[in-house]
Amino acid sequence: MAAHLDRDVTPGGCSWGEDTIVAISTAMGAGAIGIVRLSGPDAVAIAESVFLAARGTSVKPDETYSLLYGHAIDPESREPVDEVLLAVMRRPRSYTREDVVEMHCHGGVAAQRAVLRLMLRSGARLAEPGEFTRRAFLNGRIDLTQAESVAAIVAAKSSGALRASVRQLDGSLSERLRMMRRDLLGLLAQIEATVDFSDEDVDELDRLALAKGLAEVQAEVLKLLRTAFLGRALEQGVRTAIIGKPNVGKSSLLNALLMRERAIVSDVPGTTRDTVEELLEIGGVPIHLVDTAGIRSGGDHVERLGVARSVKAMEQADLVLAVIDLSTAWDEAEGRLLGDLDPARSIVVGNKCDLMQGDRESLTERVRARASGGGAGPPGRRVCAVSALTGAGLDELRSQIQQVITGGEDFQLEEPVLAGERHRVLVGEAHESIGAALDGAYQGAGEELVSEDIRAAASALGRLTGEDLTPDLIDEIFSRFCVGK
């Protein structure tokens, strides 16, 4: 009994690549190179909108495969985000038999995520786990015999993502999400009661109360979003680079931090390259320390190489510890090194304070003076005076590290953190929709429009917690209001 659907389904009406999907396709932080991959009809257009090719080169429409060097840019501000390689593979000779574009980023996790966010903003949709493989199969790129394995891959990726998110979605986070969704449903029920039972005795919608409720939920969601950074950190560790001129005590600082804290040895899929990478925990947050001090051998060549490596490590790192030697004088090289530090994600560490006189404040002031390089550095820099030898100031350094990780707000670690890009995107969607609903409530938009936005937010959170909207909404209405005739 083949049930066929309404008669107006035109044959062309159903295909599998309606929209363009995007995802970061290499495991986060695994290697230096992160790939952000697009597939779908607008893949090339979206990629071009966030890419500035090096002089004289451009994407050629007829070439089935082209590789370009250039920079990923923010379309509005034209600011470069990362130095990238752009690989364009035109259909049908691509992995998914759709237009596929890969942007090979060099910057660290932050750059990949920035590129991803830009692409989402110009129209791409975050891919479901395993969606690329699924499209490849459905577009006939993978033949029937491999169907079983494809299904397994898709299942693994989907359930893998599921397992991963469940692991990350520890109890308190999913509970927090459920609470937020419950609050949204409560607000939605107020609107729906005045809409569906307007001919009954349901008092008019109190728009002010609605706006207040929305604002509260929005704040809650914002708090969760802000932990997105921490979330990823929990997953792979905060990538922290210790840089500085040779013999300023980078390695001793590293050892001091290690000796004091329990070093975690785990099979974090990081590959140790030519840098020494250690994993330790500060205040419950795994720190992925990368010490460029690993280059033991001397010599100019090595020296040049060392500095180049420091610069790269600095770019890739979420946090930079710039070590200076308090016992030596400021010099040009140090000024240059500290000059292009991002104050929000760096701490200037004045080492060997044991060699100096003065109490903590005066030592810290000395480091601040050196850090500003005689007024050259930006204000509001984080500084700390320590002695790797005696361990003085290490606690101060540890709390500063924790502050940077938590985005400046101090909160206890049991606060749930958002791990994984999918969660961040979905919570982001919810936040955006709640904002639209809030504007609608203030500007007196129609109830049905405000309800659409709240509904979008609640279903975005629902996709995280696996609850579907309508049955819960009906229950909410009938438990909260005495309606129905």
Partner 1 sequence: MRAKTQQEWTYDVIVVGGGHAGCEAALASARMGCRTAMVALHLDNIALMPCNPAIGGVGKGQLTREVDALGGEQGRNADRAFIQIRMLNTSKGPAVQALRAQADKRLYEDWMKVAMSRTPGLELVQGEAATLDVSRETINGVTLADGRYLRCRSLVLATGTFLRAKVVIGDRSYAAGRVGELPAQHLSASLLAAGLEVERFQSATPPRIDGATIDPGRMVLQQGDTVPWSFSHWQTPSPRRQLPCYLTYTTAATHEVVSKHLHLSPLKSGSVSGKGPRYCPSIDRKVINFPDKQRHPVFVEPEGITTREMYLQGLTTSLPVFVQEMIIHATPGLERARLVRPGYAVEYDYLPPQQLTLSLQSKAVSGLFSAGQINGTSGYEEAAAQGLMAGINAALHARNEPPFVLRRDQAYIGVLIDDLVTEGVDEPYRMFTSRAEYRLLLRHDNAAERLSSLGHALGLISDEQLATVEEKQRKVAEYTELLESMMVRSGQVNAEVLEALGTPPLGGSQPAARVLRRPQISFANLVELVSGADRDRLASAPPEVIEQLEIQARYDGYIRRQMAEIRRHRATETLLIPADFDYRSVEGLTFEAKDKLARIRPDTLGQASRVSGVSPADISVLLIHLHRLLRTREEPAPGSGDQALRQAQCT
Residues of span 119-178 touching partner 1 by CB under 8 A: 128-131, 134, 137-140, 144, 147-148, 150-152, 154-155, 158-159, 162
Name the residue nearer to partner 1 (CB basis): 2 or 265.
2
DSSP string, 370-433: HHTTTTTS-SS-EEEE-BTTTTBTHHHHHHHHHHHHTTT----TTS----SHHHHHHHHHHHHH
Q: Please, which of residues 439-478 interact with partner 1 by CB under 8 A?
A: 443-449, 451-452, 455, 463, 466, 468-471, 473-474, 477-478
- For residue 20 the two structure tokens come to 């363009």
CA-to-CA distance for 153 and 147, rounded, in angstroms? 10
Q: Please, which of residues 387-446 interact with partner 1 by CB under 8 A?
A: 443-446
Shortest spacing between CB 451 and partner 1, in angstroms: 8
Segment interacting with partner 1, rule: CB under 8 A, options 3-11, 46-54, 239-247, 315-323: 3-11
SS3 for 183?
helix
Q: Which of 13, 171, 380, 408 binds partner 1 (CB under 8 A)?
A: 13
Name the residue nearer to partner 1 (CB basis): 112 or 190.
190
Q: Which of 15, 58, 172, 362 binds partner 1 (CB under 8 A)?
A: 15
Name the residue nearer to partner 1 (CB basis): 48 or 476.
476
Shortest spacing between CB 480 and partner 1, in angstroms: 10
Residue 192 binds partner 1 (CB under 8 A): yes
CA-to-CA distance for 280 and 283, rounded, in angstroms? 10
CA-to-CA distance for 440 and 282, rounded, in angstroms? 44
State which H helix or E strand residue 320 sits in.
Answer: strand 319-325
Q: Note whether 264 and 281 are within 8 A (CB).
A: yes
Name the residue nearer to partner 1 (CB basis): 126 or 347.
126
Q: Please, which of residues 195-214 interact with partner 1 by CB under 8 A?
A: 195-201
Q: Please, which of residues 39-78 interact with partner 1 by CB under 8 A?
A: none
Q: Please, which of residues 74-93 interact with partner 1 by CB under 8 A?
A: 92
CA-to-CA distance for 19 and 17, rounded, in angstroms? 6
Shortest spacing between CB 403 and partner 1, in angstroms: 38
Shortest spacing between CB 213 and partner 1, in angstroms: 18
Residue 309 binds partner 1 (CB under 8 A): no
Task: Tell me which amino acid residue 255 is.
Answer: N
Task: Tell me which amino acid residue 164 is.
Answer: A
Q: Please, which of residues 90-109 interact with partner 1 by CB under 8 A?
A: 92, 97
Shortest spacing between CB 124 and partner 1, in angstroms: 13
Strands (E), 40-148: 51-53, 65-73, 80-89, 100-105, 125-126
- For the sheet containing 346-351, what is the strand order? 276-282, 285-291, 238-243, 319-325, 346-351, 382-385
Name the residue nearer to partner 1 (CB basis): 379 or 484.
484
Name the residue nearer to partner 1 (CB basis): 71 or 207.
207
Query: Rounded to 10 degrees, what is the CA torsion of 454, 455, 459, 460?
Result: -40
Q: Note whether 371 and 338 are within 8 A (CB).
A: yes
User: Beta partners for 126?
Assistant: 22
